[in-house]
């Protein structure tokens, strides 16, 4: 029996408290050893809840009883603390995007490879089996030849003091909710996407963009239409549109672990709802990270860097609107 992977959590962010910490505690093969905060006193109640110790950032990444570090810090702090963890010999699972700059992302990936360490972005939705099942439907000709892909992720308005409104921390709709439609396009259309057009809109009183849209294309001429925002009615879906039908997936990026995914297949004038099993994509993500460490899968993830390039080019190509 192999020893569990000992993991520390670098920060007490909402996603850590709400989703990742419960999943880490329940995951076979993982053992939570420490939770860090800039002020360790702030981490003590959370650490006590999970039966581990509270500490500060530097002590956690240098701790001898930590094999891997989960980094849910704001985007602007990722490069510094992912590098620190890698330099201390720790595997890293970092919230997405890894950084806001393709060169910085590539540098971190090289750093991990040189040290033979696993570095992964916490892109949970790609680990839900429904997306591979949808890919198989498309490959088997269920909707004919693929013509267009569309995806949207938007959330209701956030409080003005939310960190997503702070540009110095990497806030803004593009890197937060926009990440998902772009990654979904990469997942289904491959890495050779180019940005054809984009727009970013800054809502009244915000220092960052609060919504945006983009058109991407493949070398074969398949179009991807993407939309995202953080001042909207909730939407979370993608659609693949072919020559003879289409497939739509609802709650595509954050499906409940205990509910079967909603997939609609329209063809021949009929609408079908294929039955797919429920799955816990958070647990699946942690299992994939644990396997990568156990198997020594330290090669850089090509799509992580390609994602960072597309987000950078989308921003550079975007027409600002007010």
List the catalytic residues. 96
- 3-class secondary structure, 261: coil
Please state, as a whole number, how many other Cβ atoms lie within 10 Å of the Cβ of residue 168: 9
Strand arrangement, sheet containing 318-321:
270-272, 262-267, 245-250, 235-242, 146-154, 223-229, 211-217, 194-201, 318-321
- Tell me how far CA of residue 15 lies from CA of 22, 106, 206, 277, 291, in angstroms: 10, 25, 23, 25, 22
Strands 223-229 vs 146-154: parallel, antiparallel or unpaired = parallel
CA atoms within 13 A on the CB side of 154: 18
Contacts of 295 (CB under 8 A, 6+ apart): none
Rg for the chain, CA atoms, rounded? 20
Task: Measure the CA–CA gap between 36 and 197, rounded to whole angstroms.
Answer: 41
Helix (H) or strand (E) holding 35: strand 30-36
Phi-psi domain of 270 (left: phi exceeds 0; alpha: psi -120 through 50; beta: other): beta
Per-residue DSSP letter, 318: E
Torsion (CA) 84, 86, 91, 95 in degrees, nearest 10: 50
Task: Return the closest-CA partner of residue 189 out of 135, 136, 231, 133.
Answer: 135
């Amino acid at each position: 029996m192999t020893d569990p992977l000992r993991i520390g959590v670098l920060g007490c962010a909402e996603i850590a408290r709400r989703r990742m910490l419960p999943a880490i505690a329940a995951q076979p093969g993982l053992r939570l050893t420490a939770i860090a905060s800039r002020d360790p006193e702030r981490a003590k109640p959370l650490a006590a809840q999970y039966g581990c110790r509270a500490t500060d950032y530097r002590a956690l990444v240098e701790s001898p009883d930590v094999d891997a570090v989960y980094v849910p810090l704001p985007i602007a702090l990722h490069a510094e603390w992912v590098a620190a963890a890698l330099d201390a010999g720790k595997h890293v699972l970092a919230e997405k995007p890894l950084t806001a700059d393709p060169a910085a992302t590539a540098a971190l990936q090289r750093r991990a490879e040189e040290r033979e360490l696993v570095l992964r972005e916490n892109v949970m939705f790609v680990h839900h089996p429904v997306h591979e099942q949808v890919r198989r439907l498309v490959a088997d000709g269920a909707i004919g030849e693929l013509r267009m892909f569309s995806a949207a992720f938007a959330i209701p308005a956030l409080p003005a003091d939310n960190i997503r409104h702070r540009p110095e921390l990497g806030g803004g709709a593009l890197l937060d909710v926009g990440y998902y439609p772009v990654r979904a396009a990469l997942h289904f259309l491959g890495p050779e996407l180019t940005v054809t057009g984009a727009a970013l809109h800054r809502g009244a009183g915000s220092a960052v963009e609060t919504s945006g849209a983009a058109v991407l294309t493949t070398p074969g001429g398949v179009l991807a239409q993407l939309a995202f925002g953080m001042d909207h009615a909730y939407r979370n879906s993608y659609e693949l549109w072919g020559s003879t039908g289409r497939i739509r997936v609802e709650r595509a990026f954050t499906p409940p672990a205990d509910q079967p995914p909603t997939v609609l297949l329209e063809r021949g004038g009929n609408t079908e709802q294929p039955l797919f099993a429920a799955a816990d994509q958070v647990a699946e993500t942690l299992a994939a990270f644990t396997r990568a460490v156990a198997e020594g899968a330290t090669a850089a993830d090509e799509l992580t860097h390609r994602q960072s390039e597309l987000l950078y080019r989308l921003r550079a190509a975007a027409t600002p609107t007010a």
